[in-house]
Structure formats: C-alpha cells, structure tokens
Amino acid sequence: MFNQAIDHMMIENREHFMIPGDVVASVGVDNSLRHAFLLLTKVRYAKIPVLDNQDHFKGLLSLAMITDQMLGLDDFSLEALDQQCVGDVMETDVVTIDNPYAVENVLHLLVDNPFLPVVQDDGTFTGIVTRREVMKGINYIAHNLDHYYQMTPKEHETE
Ligand code: AMP
C-alpha cells in the first residue's frame, strides 16, 4: 500500500510537478519533418509532444523518429524531409495522465517514461509531468518528512 504520509506530502506539491503547456516545447502534427528536425535540434529535448492546432495532444516526436526516415532514403538531405509531416512518423501509442492525477500511478509510470503528457478528457494538452520535477518533490519529502510526521522505528520481534 502507498504510504499515506508520502501520498499526502506529494499531493500538496502536485501542482508544482507539472510544467504547464505554454512553456513546453511542442510541434504541430501538420508541420513538415524539416521544421520538426530543426526545432528538436534547437530545443535539445529528446522527445517533445505533438499537438494539433486546437492544442489537442496527438503523440510524441523524437529526432530518432525523423532520422530513421532519412536513413531509408538514397538522398540524405533536408529537402527529403519536406515530403513528410510530423503526423506520418510520430509515436501515437503514448501513456498520458489526466489532471488531477493519482501520485501513486504517476510514480509507477515514470519508471519507464522520462515524462508524462497531461491530457484532459476532451484531448486538450495541459502540460507534462517530468521525472526531474517529481524527483525534486521526493527530495523535499526526504528532507522534511520528520518536520510533519513523527517517525519512530518499529520494534523488531526477538526470539
Ligand atoms: P527532465 O526530467 O527534465 O530531464 O525531462 C525529461 C524529458 O521531458 C526531456 O528529455 C524532454 O523530452 C521532456 N521535457 C522536459 N521539459 C520539457 C519542455 N519544457 N518542453 C518539452 N519537453 C520537455
């Protein structure tokens, strides 16, 4: 069972874990791969969210998804990337969370995912929860748990 004290302290900080959508680097589903290639190179994030023009979450895009396409071509040039759009190569099988999200679930999901897109029921993208932000929260709890809760070790049974 998830520890109640930890759950409570994580919930208190839950809003801080999310990087809001307006400061998340993202790319449009209809953008050309050339545009996406230049953007990903510039922002230096491994993977970024893909949105439509109503801010609905559509998938994730990484540089590797684009360069995979380039490797399959004889002509290894940026011009070739004008022929395809982000929607043609993005990853669509993506785990997302809604807001407010269950902290326990987020901790499980972040084991295998460096970040989780936060998506509303109607598909609107609201931000991302990253491992880094959650690690900051865990660091805070590790330093402050005994300011809020009395911790005494359980006595071990002796024979
Ligand atoms: P971090 O835990 O900060 O290292 O972030 C993990 C991953 O989340 C990064 O590699 C990016 O793919 C993504 N990410 C973090 N911050 C942003 C951001 N502001 N815009 C877009 N993607 C981000």
Q: Tell me, what CATH number does 115's domain have? A: 3.10.580.10
pLDDT, position 68: 86
Number of domains composing the chain: 1
Give the mutation target among 39, 115, 135 for probing the ligand 1 site: most ligand atoms within 8 A of CB. Answer: 115
Query: Cα(27)–Cα(70) distance, rounded to whole angstroms?
Result: 19
Residue 131 CB less than 6 A away from ligand 1 = yes
53 occurs within a structural domain: yes
131 occurs within a structural domain: yes
Question: What's the longest Cα–Cα distance across the chain?
Answer: 76
Residue 62 CB less than 6 A away from ligand 1 = no
Give the mutation target among 40, 45, 57, 62 for probing the ligand 1 site: most ligand atoms within 8 A of CB. Answer: 45
- Compute the mean pLDDT over every residue in the chain, rounded to the nearest whole number: 91
Least confident piece of the model among 15-24, 56-65, 129-138, 148-157 = 148-157
32 occurs within a structural domain: yes
153 occurs within a structural domain: no
Least confident piece of the model among 28-32, 69-73, 95-99, 105-109 = 69-73
63 occurs within a structural domain: yes
User: Which one has a higher pLDDT value, 157 or 125?
Assistant: 125
Least confident piece of the model among 8-17, 19-28, 45-54 = 8-17
Find the domain containing 142 and state its range.
Answer: 4-148
74 occurs within a structural domain: yes
73 occurs within a structural domain: yes
